[in-house]
Amino acid sequence: MKIKRVGFVGWRGMVGSVLLTRMRDEADFDVIEEPVFFSTSQTGQAGPEIGSQQTRLHDAFDLQQLSAMDVIVTCQGGDYTTQVFKVLREEGWRGYWIDAASSLRMTDHSVIVLDPVNRELIDQALDNGVRDFIGGNCTVSLMMMAMAGLLKADLVEWISVMTYQAASGAGARAMRELLTQMAALCVATAPLLEDPAAVILDIDRLAIEAMRGASFPVANLGAALAGNLLPWIDRIADNGQSREEWKGYVECNKILGRQQNPIAIDGLCVRIGAMRCHSQALTVKLCVDLGMDEIRGRLAEANDWVRVVENTPQHSITELTPSHVTGTLEVAIGRLHKMRMGPEYLTAFTVGDQLLWGAAEPLRRMLKLLLQR
């Protein structure tokens, strides 16, 4: 099928705008005959400028308009997907659906896309007529990009993942609120901070009082994140897990096509006060005792974006940090060394931009793949 019309929904949200920026950077629009932009709230208004062309926004709930698309790329969110996808398919629409939301990830008719890891699975699915391609959970995709060299070679028995997830994972409002909280802490402690003779425990007391105070801004995050951390992300699942932790296991195995022979993956997901890079500390039980040179080599060669960081204090605090990796496509992995538990036990720390490889990039590449077929 020759793809002509590509519809974009959710393009002005956080993931959608990163997607558009990447598509402009890579000149992807040059190969799309007719990009069409939709909105749930701004029908008729001006859409984004593509090249020299000014686009107009269509109604994202107009099924007739949507069904004229060969591909729909949506970064609008799960509620939108639930409302529109099923009806569109029931009415006979046979185009490709590319989605950032989680709603369809675990359905039988979808593939979770992360092409540097599961390109074969994607190609097979396309050959078999699959039309629903869904981006993975950000933390899962970033861990898999970093660990692809060992995961794809079937060298991993299990992984314990402890995450340090950025505010961006909770949306744009959460990012703003984190900064507002930081500002509130500065205001609360300013009088003593300015006094070099002030006692640090008095400064700390002011900060804690502000954090616990009724006027501290927590409307979006639910609690203080600045100067604090939140050891729960997403809804409650079974067995004491959060849904975010559950996704780590099910999505990773679906991406690898190993639902029948899953790798055990578990851990705790924690929100920290980073802006848009997720970090993860991994404990890995390898299937065999591999040498460190081989491990580093396999990780580094797995794809063009993973970067192995030397396990030194200087490299770790300069190159293996959210502030260093943010805004780049690089997925850094470092702190690599064997653990006291035995020669098959490896530890690692990885950092990746949650909005790039964690969200927009797998979708952009899936669209590109369809356009090139």
Using rule CB under 6 A, residue 114 touches ligand NAP: no
> Quick one: 340 exposed, middle or buried, by C-beta within 10 A (0-12, 13-18, 19+)?
exposed
Pick the closest to residue 81 from 107, 99, 64 (CA basis).
99
Q: What are phi and psi of 286, to 5 degrees?
A: -80, 160
Tell me which stretch binds ligand NAP (CB under 6 A): 24-32, 111-119, 166-174, 337-345: 166-174
Q: x/- site string to ligand NAP, residues 333 to 362, per CB under 6 A?
A: ---------------------xx--xx---
Q: Which residue has the tokens 């500390």?
A: 281
- Residue positions counted in the chain: 373
The answer to whether the CB of 132 falls within 8 A of the CB of 110 is yes
Nearer to ligand NAP, 171 or 297 (CB): 171
Among 3, 7, 8, 15, the residue binding ligand NAP under the rule CB under 6 A is 15
| Cα 226 to Cα 229: distance, rounded to the nearest angstrom | 7
Q: Which is nearer to ligand NAP, 103 or 283 (CB)?
A: 103
- Of 126, 130, 162, 172, which lies in the binding site for ligand NAP, with binding defined by CB under 6 A? 172
- When asked if residue 42 is in the footprint of ligand NAP (CB under 6 A), the reply is yes
Q: Give min distance, CB of 260 to ligand NAP, in A.
A: 27
**Does position 76 bind ligand NAP by CB under 6 A?**
yes
User: Exposed, middle or buried: residue 218 (CB in 10 Å: 0-12, 13-18, 19+)?
Assistant: middle
Please give the Cα distance from 332 to 145 (Å, whole number): 9
The binder of ligand NAP chosen from 32, 72, 73, 75 (CB under 6 A): 75
**Of positions 6, 12, 114, 177, contacts ligand NAP by CB under 6 A:** 12
Measured CA to CA, the distance from residue 261 to residue 171 in angstroms comes to 34
In the annotation, is 186 catalytic?
no
278: annotated active-site residue:
yes
Token reading at 181: 């909280």
Looking at 75, 138, 269, 277, which residue is catalytic?
138
Q: Where are the alpha helices (H) located in 26-154, listed in sequence order?
A: 63-66, 78-90, 115-127, 138-151
- Binding of residue 138 to ligand NAP (CB under 6 A): yes
- Structure-token pair, residue 277: 């890079």
Q: Indicate which single residue of 5, 21, 29, 40 sits in contact with ligand NAP (rule: CB under 6 A).
A: 40
What's the min distance (Å) between Cβ of 165 and ligand NAP?
10
Question: Please, which residue, 3 or 60, has the CB nearer to ligand NAP?
Answer: 60
Among residues 24, 65, 78, 297, the one that binds ligand NAP under rule CB under 6 A: 78
CB 124 within 8 A of CB 284: no
Nearest distance from residue 321's CB to ligand NAP, in Å? 19
Helix (H) or strand (E) holding 345: strand 342-353
State the pairing for strand pair 5-9/34-39. Answer: parallel
The answer to whether residue 235 forms part of the interface with ligand NAP (CB under 6 A) is no
- Footprint of ligand NAP (CB under 6 A): 10, 12-16, 39-42, 60, 75-78, 100-101, 138, 168-169, 171-172, 354-355, 358-359
Residues known to be catalytic: 138, 278
